Chain A
Amino acid sequence: MNDSLLAVPRFLDTRGGTLRRIGWGVMVLTTLTILVLPERFDLPAETSTSQLMLTYIAWASILFLFSFLGITLLVLGYIQFFQRFEGILLFTGLILLGVWAGTWTQMEEAAWLRGRAQLLMLVLGVVSMLAIAEAIALYLIFHDRGIRLLGVVLMVNVWVLFLWIRQVGPDTVLIETVISQRPLLLRLFQSSTCVSIWITILAPISFIGHTIRLLHHEREGENEPK
């Protein structure tokens, strides 16, 4: 049963297949670029470190942008799925994979494969950090559950923090929170933190938006079933 508040726009219904095909195409092509990366980053004599860094950043940006574009197209293509809570869970899982990949230091016998797989998962993790905002936003557009989600997220976070402090002491928590012994980037990937942050940002917006919609309907005295 679809208990969404709003109907899916006709455009997404009719063009869903096209969006899905383009989305998968962009994702596959973007992923394949990983294969063209050199196995080693030995500097040629005429190349400076900054040049190499710029090249690397440019490539990562392109990879990131196209991945994000591909995921956005897929989210819109599979909108019937992503207006449900499962959409949020999918990206949460991807972020977790990214975090896991970041700490992946075994499998020395397949270093070449490991490096690329790790890179792919990392990129997917980073992209999922933004894509999860899309999934949460879609969910909150189609379901008026912003306040409930916010309530759960705030309560869970406050208890986690409280119990963490009780467990290891406030000094350790502060140090871990500000400067973790783990790499900063990976720590930011923490799926729960990421989901919490996006829900904290998007839930009040959704609540206000739905309230305006409800007030508008009420003002109109809407009596014709849509």
Chain B
Amino acid sequence: MERQVDISTLPTQTEAAFGLILFVFLGTLVAALVGSSPIYMPPIVLSMLILPARAILTIPDRELRLRDEPATQTLQTNGTFEYLQQTITQLAAEMGYTKPIQLIISRNHWEARASGSWRRHYILLGHEIAQKIGDDLKNPNKKEKAMALLLHEIGHIVHRDVQRVGYTRELLRSCATLLPWWAIFLSVWLGIGFQAGEALLDFDIKTLQDVDPVLKFILAPIITLPEAERIEISHKLQTISFSLLTNFILNAFLPIMLVGFILWQLYWRRMVRMQEHHADYLASRRVGWITLAGAMMRYSGQFEPVSSQHERLVPIIIRQRLKGLVRPLEVARKTAALNRAFQLQTVVNIPLRERWQQWRALHPNFYARRDFVRDPLAYYRAWKAPAWSAALLALALDLTLTSPLIGYHISGYPVHVSTLAILVLTTTWWLPLLILKEPYKPQLRRFLVVVFGLRWGWLVFNTLWLLLMIVLLPEVALSFLNDMAFAGSRTAGIPQSLPVTDPLGLALSVLPGFFGLQLLQLAIVLVLLVIYRATVQRLLRRQETNWKQIHWILVIGLGVVAITWLLTPASDLLILNSGELTKPGHLLGYGIGGLALMGTWLALHPITRKPGGST
């Protein structure tokens, strides 16, 4: 009997990416609060923690504020609003979603999208499309298509896209906007302090000429510094290096800013596109993929990216008007494309231009959507897209860790997070193939080649670049390495001596251990994948269905054990620092690893005993 799987019960790449991005970025921020720091970190960390989450909270109010009141009243009067609201509630209940979803009539007449916050969920429909769906729902020939559109939007809410994808966007955007603000503000502020510090200490109001004595008498106690403060300022001016302070700010913020910006501009859009596929899939489960395809043709404008709620209303209106002028052409183009896309052909030559545009697109093209809803597992069988996205994300997250904010704590362990990321992303892609007992070896091999190839390629490139710099520009290399060392040690005091005096010697002593650690990482990932496969196969024999939960328990458990029991001691030994092995922090780590192993076993054991349904 052919085994089938409902992919909505499986972990998604978006979930995995969300968890990893959250872990690395929030972990970095929390780590910034621990240990010494040349600048006061709490305001920066708090703003980065609070503002992205708060941005999600503001969405519902904005949507409600910008709704189309007259259109809402019109639709309420003719009964369409109530009918749509009831249909949405009923369809959500059919999908097992019991929380209320509110319909909002938006000012953009042709949009259809899901929105909301952590606990408030909305479906926004423009006036025209709401009326069209309302009419279609009453027409037996078009009812299913109208339901498909509503189911697609409900699917976004069921998958918590607003929370996960929305929060990821806000977090990454904060890295690219808020952190540069802090970096510039702090640098200029410190510049003022260092420029005016001496003058402030020397300033004495009593010595000023041409000033009213009464004014002097009044102002003197206000502006004269207390002795303790004077000593503190004087001490800081004499012992702190302004260049090392700015060096720390640059090194601490730049990796997070750059990686945040790149992920926001590229990877986050992929997360959105993946969730479109999953929303399509959820809708197609109810109405069938052919009806969904028909809905995409009938409501083609609504299955395309709509204007973000952050955009102002006036540009939206202007754009709509301009679009209206060229609508006949646009409709003809779109219809032709859709007809091509939904021809029942297996292979379609997707135009190269359209493929390239997908890098920046917020929605997948119709070809990709059609392929996914027809055969979701084809995405998993085709390893290229998941492999490259996993490789880029794992590398990007690893680059974030070069920030001294977290590098200060994990300087000896540069492979831990990437090991976890590779494990999580690989197994999330691999699981459906394992469950369906599909052939996976060539795909898995290529997947790992891409992931490790990109990582090692990057490391080798950096190593060669460093060695070349040491040989050709020794002064620059010395300065660069010392800057890194000062930033990494989170100090800005005027140094008595340089931490790095022999760059070549240092590089040659560190690099063998570092590359040994990379090989060890590969071995550990392979071992973990073998354990993962064995566990999944054992659970398959027991007719297990709750794969999402099993996957996360297994991956997190294995990851923690590998990090604490294998990678940490191995890192200590490879960098010839065996004294670290018995330090209290490491002993605590071994304990956590033991607990994780026990917890994984206990968590999976009762699951295997549950009466399972058919897979």
Q: Do A and B bind each other?
A: yes
- The stretch from A28-36, A110-118, A159-167 touching chain B is A159-167
- Given contacts A155-B184, A179-B215, A225-B72, 17 further A-B pairs with CB under 8 A are A1-B314, A155-B181, A155-B185, A158-B188, A165-B195, A170-B195, A170-B199, A174-B199, A178-B219, A211-B57, A214-B58, A217-B61, A218-B117, A221-B99, A222-B120, A223-B122, A224-B102
18 sampled A-B residue pairs with Cβ under 8 A: A1-B313, A4-B65, A144-B58, A154-B185, A158-B188, A165-B192, A165-B196, A166-B195, A170-B198, A171-B199, A174-B199, A184-B215, A211-B57, A217-B61, A219-B119, A221-B100, A221-B119, A223-B122
Most buried by A among B61, B99, B184, B191: B61
- Within 8 Å CB of A155, what residues of B? 181, 184-185
CB distance from B242 to the nearest CB of A (A): 13
Inter-chain contact A225/B188, CB cutoff 8 Å? no
Q: Is B189 an interface residue (CB 8 A)?
A: yes
Known: A151-B181, A171-B203, A225-B104. A178 touches B192 (CB 8 A): no
**Chief secondary structure at chain B's binding surface:** helix
Chain B contact residues, CB within 8 Å of chain A: 51, 54, 57-58, 60-61, 64-67, 72, 99-100, 102, 104, 117-122, 181, 184-185, 188-189, 191-192, 195-196, 198-200, 202-203, 205, 208, 210-211, 215, 219, 223, 313-314
| Contact between chains at B65 and A218 (CB < 8 Å) | no
Within 8 A of B (CB), among A8-61: none
In contact, A218 and B196 (Cβ under 8 angstroms): no
B residues within 8 A CB of A179?
Answer: 205, 208, 211, 215, 219
Distance between B166 CB and nearest chain A CB, rounded to angstroms: 14
A147 part of interface (Cβ distance < 8 Å): yes
In the complex, the answer to whether A162 meets B120 with C-beta atoms within 8 Å is no
Residue A108 CB within 8 A of the other chain? no
Q: Is A107 an interface residue (CB 8 A)?
A: no
Q: Contacts A170-B198, A179-B211, A226-B64: A162 and B191 contacting too (C-beta < 8 A)?
A: yes
- CB pair A218 B57 closer than 8 Å: yes
State the Cβ distance, A118 to closest chain B Cβ, in Å: 23
How many angstroms between the C-alpha atoms of A226 and B72 in the bound complex?
A: 12
- Residue-wise, chain A 177-219 has the 8 Å CB interface mask toward B (1 for contact) of 0110100100000000000000000000000000100110111
A175's nearest neighbour on chain B, judged by CB, is B208
If A165-B192, A165-B196, A214-B54 touch, whether A178 touches B223 (CB-CB below 8 Å) is yes
Residues on A with C-beta less than 8 A from B215 are 179, 184
Q: Is the CB of B102 within 8 A of A3?
A: no
Chain B residues closer than 8 Å to A161, beta-carbon distance: 192
Which of A147, A158, A161, A225 neighbours the largest number of chain B CB atoms within 10 Å of its CB? A225
- Say whether B188 contacts A162, CB under 8 Å: yes
Beta-carbon contact of B60 and A147 below 8 Å: no
Chain A residues within 8 Å of B185, by CB? 154-155, 158
* A173 on the B face (CB < 8 A): yes
Docked complex Cα distance between A214 and B203 (Å): 47
A5 within 8 Å of B by Cβ?
yes
Say yes or no: A5 contacts B65, CB within 8 Å: yes
Q: Is the CB of B117 within 8 A of A158?
A: no
Say yes or no: A217 contacts B120, CB within 8 Å: yes
Residues of B within 8 A of A226 (CB): 64
- CB-CB under 8 A from B188, the residues of chain A are 158-159, 162
Chain A residues near B66: list those with CB within 8 A. Answer: 3
